Amino acid sequence: MPLLQLRNVVKSYAAPDGATAPVLDVASFSLEAGEHVALRGASGSGKTTLLNVIAGIVVPDAGEVVVDGTDVARLSEPARDAHRARTTGYVFQAFNLLQGFTALENVALGMLFGGIADPARARGLLERVGLGDRMSYFPRQLSLGQQQRVAVARALANRPKLVLADEPTGSLDAASGAQALALIREVCREAGAALLLVSHDAEVLGAFEKRLELAAINRAPAGATP
């Protein structure tokens, strides 16, 4: 059984004129455990909505979103939160680090919500991403590349089976982006986690053996994302 399986997933948003505009309409999509897949999609193609639906942050209007054997679309909100914390790591385009907390606290806090209290692992992960000497730094004291590395460490902290990455190199220059991408793939491989990355950057996509056009699985018209 695949680690991730989407069946007939539909998500619509209300347009300003009151009509509903479908942004996601995926008949079928799956991801095996440990598999790395890149999805290419232009702006407004529903990339982020797809990842949010898989993460359980957004509930689809219809369909099944099975992650690690559980249909997250049918779970209550607290159960989705708990499931996400246990099974899914999320790397955001804007990193989304907690600005008032150190690099180590950012990683450790993420772990707590998954029920893991292991400061040693948090430190180990930061060392793994090359920030062993920056653990007590606040995000504003780190470069963008370093911030992205903290975000990667945080996404991997709960030993997730699935890592979602939304334009993870979008805020970085080419060299830093390539480094960050290599790091994400490397640590996911080490952890045995599946990786689903969405990007519009052809260079990023080129690094993946398996890559798909989002339009190939999403039947909703592009540009409908609110």
Partner 1 sequence: MIPRSLAGGLFLIVRRSLAQHALSTAVAALASALACGLVIAVFAVRQQAHDAFAGSASGVDAVLGARGSHLQLVLNAVYHLDTSPGNIPWSLYEQVRADPQVDVAVPYAVGDSWRGWRVVGTTPERFTRLEERKGRRLAPAPGGRVFDPALREAVIGSAVADSTGLRVGAEFHPEHGLSHEGAEEHEEEYVVVGVLEPTNTPADRVIWIPIEGVFRMGGHVLRGAGTEFRPKPGEPIPDEAKEVSAVLLKFRVPMAGMRLDQAINRQGKDATLAWPVSRSVAELFDKLGWMDRVLALVAWLVMLVAAGSILAALSNAMNERRRDFAILRALGAKRRVVFAAILLESTAIGALGAAGGWLVAFALAAGAAAVVRAQTGVVLDAAQVHAAAAFAPAAMVALAALAGVLPAVRAYRTPVADTLAPVS
At its nearest, how many Å lie between partner 1 and the CB of residue 44?
Answer: 7
Q: Measured from the CB atom, is 36 or 83 closer to partner 1?
A: 83
At its nearest, how many Å lie between partner 1 and the CB of residue 196?
Answer: 14
At its nearest, how many Å lie between partner 1 and the CB of residue 108?
Answer: 5
Would you report the helix, strand and coil content of the chain in percent, each value rounded to 5? 40, 25, 35
Query: What does 123-180 look like in DSSP terms, one character per residue?
Result: HHHHHHTT-TT-TT--GGGS-HHHHHHHHHHHHHTT--SEEEEESTTTTS-HHHHHHH
Query: What does 103-115 look like in DSSP terms, one character per residue?
Result: HHHHHHHHHHTTT
Q: Measured from the CB atom, is 17 or 99 closer to partner 1?
A: 99
Footprint on this chain of partner 1 (rule: CB under 8 A): 41, 43-49, 52, 55, 57-58, 77-78, 81-82, 84-86, 90, 92-94, 96-101, 104-105, 108-110, 112-114, 117, 119, 122, 154, 158, 166-167, 198, 200, 225-226
Q: Measured from the CB atom, is 4 or 122 closer to partner 1?
A: 122
At its nearest, how many Å lie between partner 1 and the CB of residue 88?
Answer: 8
Q: Measured from the CB atom, is 32 or 138 closer to partner 1?
A: 138
At its nearest, how many Å lie between partner 1 and the CB of residue 77?
Answer: 7
Q: Measured from the CB atom, is 45 or 146 closer to partner 1?
A: 45
Side by side, the strands of the sheet bearing 36-40 are: 88-91, 162-166, 194-199, 36-40, 210-213
> Which residue is listed with tokens 């899914």?
88
Cα 72 to Cα 95: distance, rounded to the nearest angstrom: 24
Number of H helices, E strands in the chain: 8, 9
Secondary structure (3-state) at 4: strand
